[in-house]
Chains A and B, each alone.
Chain A
């Protein structure tokens, strides 16, 4: 069955210079296992295409069932320089929530 990350998690994103971080919080212990398996660095990088120019690194916060994605070169030079309407990456995570995953 195809589901979206949103079915399994909620999140938030923000900026530090040209780095955007996106946190996902699983809605259940079961969802946490699926997230860890499906939402990989490679898939996140591919899902954002050229919007993320640098690397994507994933970190785990197991006791709150959260994943943190640190995306470099993701804000068009940084919040103070960016021409993007979302120059601070405030809603970057919502695009990640739209990503489709296999949830078998």
Chain B
């Protein structure tokens, strides 16, 4: 039976390089797949691109490739990544330059585009795409003038095409996380693009491994204390078979473990209806999945299926949504709680004096209720607490308003109730982006794959 061996290289922007380096040295993988993009990442990357047209990709791809690429080329390991983010073309050019620097001539670098619809929004609306918010039912006009970025979660077709054309490195923008893995599966296992059962199985398998160490003992609530060598955690190495089954393992001689428990926790991570796991390539059904420990650190995955892919694709659209201002301060015994509340009142009065505007504020007591807030755990009352940390956050219409939160908290050091400390230094003001969830019929999207073969720089062959 045909099979393909896929390695998970990076699982988020800023992930450590060590697991990938360990993997290319010790595991016999054919592909290394890397996901760098979360919901907010595209908004951040688009902002970078708007300031500098050469930026807008996740720059960690360069040190990553510097660490693994020579070995990958030696061993014929192909790399599939969404590090192109908001600017796959620019990312492609940087990767070509890196190949030249490393002398890796002949390397084929593919760039997959077609996900970015920012410049087409009005034209698409004129053609009848409504971009209605799928959560709230609101029309796009609610936020249209604040939209900074619009990317469609495209499927695996551009990746499959790149691999068919011999690409060694495939750089995508906003493809689905699953497509990074499904592309190589389709290419190697010969699945048809409408073999819904297999594409569903592949999508479900991809979901189990796309978050790297979260499937191999990282973040494992079922027994974190039993995971060996978490600092040397091994990332998933997965053999996928043409019948839609897989064996999930990890790089030999690394930390963590692969058990039914660790894989189960990852399976339920960020899943809505498990019988309808919607993706660009399929509507996967993982509800009847079977997991079986077949050897130490080897879990067999089976019984995932799928239905036809949805007629629409999901759009990730970001819009400017104000700024967040934060202040944090600590009070100590005696009367820590009373003083904390007096300190908050002091801050509120000072903010009122400077015409502070906020659409929403939040108070959390760190060490007491900061993870769930007052909705779940009432503010502290214990008069004997040794210390309590207060966090005050506000969503503000302007950066100037957001800045006032910290500025007006500083006098707590000298002028407020006794025993304040830990106010910290002035934090950077974070701009907020809302995500506008909406759909687009797939016929409006066409995916392009462009391949550049790396030549010595003097002869120049830029993509």
Q: Which residues of A contact B (CB under 8 A)?
A: 10-19, 21, 23-25, 27, 48-51, 57, 59-64, 66, 68, 70, 72, 76-81, 83-86, 91-95, 97
A77 to B435 CA separation, bound complex (whole angstroms): 9
The answer to whether B375 touches A51, judged by C-beta atoms less than 8 angstroms apart, is yes
List B contacts of A72 (CB < 8 A). Answer: 135
The answer to whether A63 touches B288, judged by C-beta atoms less than 8 angstroms apart, is yes
358-396 of chain B: CB within 8 A of chain A: 360-362, 364, 366, 370-373, 375-376, 391, 393-395
The answer to whether B435 touches A64, judged by C-beta atoms less than 8 angstroms apart, is no
- Given known pairs A12-B266, A64-B260, A70-B272, the reply for A85 and B287 (CB within 8 Å) is no
The answer to the question of B124 belonging to the interface, with a C-beta cut-off of 8 Å to chain A, is no
Other CB < 8 Å A-B pairs besides A61-B289, A80-B434, A93-B221, 11 of them? A10-B221, A12-B266, A15-B270, A23-B271, A25-B222, A61-B287, A68-B268, A77-B434, A80-B43, A81-B321, A94-B221
Q: Which residues of B contact A (CB under 8 A)?
A: 39-40, 43, 135, 214, 219-223, 260-261, 264-275, 286-291, 303, 318, 321, 324, 360-362, 364, 366, 370-373, 375-376, 391, 393-395, 432-435, 437
List A contacts of B266 (CB < 8 A). Answer: 12
The answer to whether B222 touches A61, judged by C-beta atoms less than 8 angstroms apart, is no
The answer to whether A78 touches B324, judged by C-beta atoms less than 8 angstroms apart, is no
List B contacts of A15 (CB < 8 A). Answer: 39, 270
- Complex partner residue of A79 from B40, B135, B318, B371, CB under 8 angstroms: B40
List B contacts of A64 (CB < 8 A). Answer: 260, 264, 267, 289-291
- Complex partner residue of A68 from B214, B274, B433, CB under 8 angstroms: B274
A13 to B432 CA separation, bound complex (whole angstroms): 23
List A contacts of B274 (CB < 8 A). Answer: 59, 61, 68
A61 to B394 CA separation, bound complex (whole angstroms): 39
List A contacts of B223 (CB < 8 A). Answer: 10
List B contacts of A19 (CB < 8 A). Answer: 272
Give B376's nearest chain A residue, CB to CB.
A51
**Closest beta carbon of chain A to B275's beta carbon, Å:** 7
**Closest beta carbon of chain B to A97's beta carbon, Å:** 8
A59 to B286 CA separation, bound complex (whole angstroms): 11
Q: Which 3 A-B pairs have the closest CB atoms?
A: A23-B268, A10-B222, A14-B270
A91 to B370 CA separation, bound complex (whole angstroms): 11
Kindly name the residue among B222, B360, B364, B371 whose own CB sees the greatest number of chain A CB atoms within 10 A: B371
Give A68's nearest chain B residue, CB to CB.
B268
List B contacts of A92 (CB < 8 A). Answer: 372
List A contacts of B375 (CB < 8 A). Answer: 48-51
**Closest beta carbon of chain A to B375's beta carbon, Å:** 4
**Closest beta carbon of chain B to A19's beta carbon, Å:** 7
A54 to B376 CA separation, bound complex (whole angstroms): 15
The answer to whether B221 touches A80, judged by C-beta atoms less than 8 angstroms apart, is no
- Complex partner residue of B219 from A12, A23, A70, CB under 8 angstroms: A12
List A contacts of B214 (CB < 8 A). Answer: 12
- Given known pairs A59-B274, A77-B434, A83-B393, the reply for A66 and B268 (CB within 8 Å) is yes
- Complex partner residue of B264 from A16, A51, A66, CB under 8 angstroms: A66
A91 to B393 CA separation, bound complex (whole angstroms): 19
List A contacts of B265 (CB < 8 A). Answer: 10-12, 23, 25
- Complex partner residue of B267 from A48, A57, A62, A66, CB under 8 angstroms: A66
A59 to B366 CA separation, bound complex (whole angstroms): 33
The answer to whether B287 touches A59, judged by C-beta atoms less than 8 angstroms apart, is yes
List B contacts of A63 (CB < 8 A). Answer: 288-291, 303
Q: 5 interchain pairs (CB within 8 A)?
A: A23-B264, A51-B372, A66-B264, A77-B434, A97-B221
A65 to B344 CA separation, bound complex (whole angstroms): 46
- Complex partner residue of B288 from A12, A62, A78, CB under 8 angstroms: A62
List B contacts of A13 (CB < 8 A). Answer: 269
Kindly name the residue among A49, A50, A80, A95 whose own CB sees the greatest number of chain B CB atoms within 10 A: A80
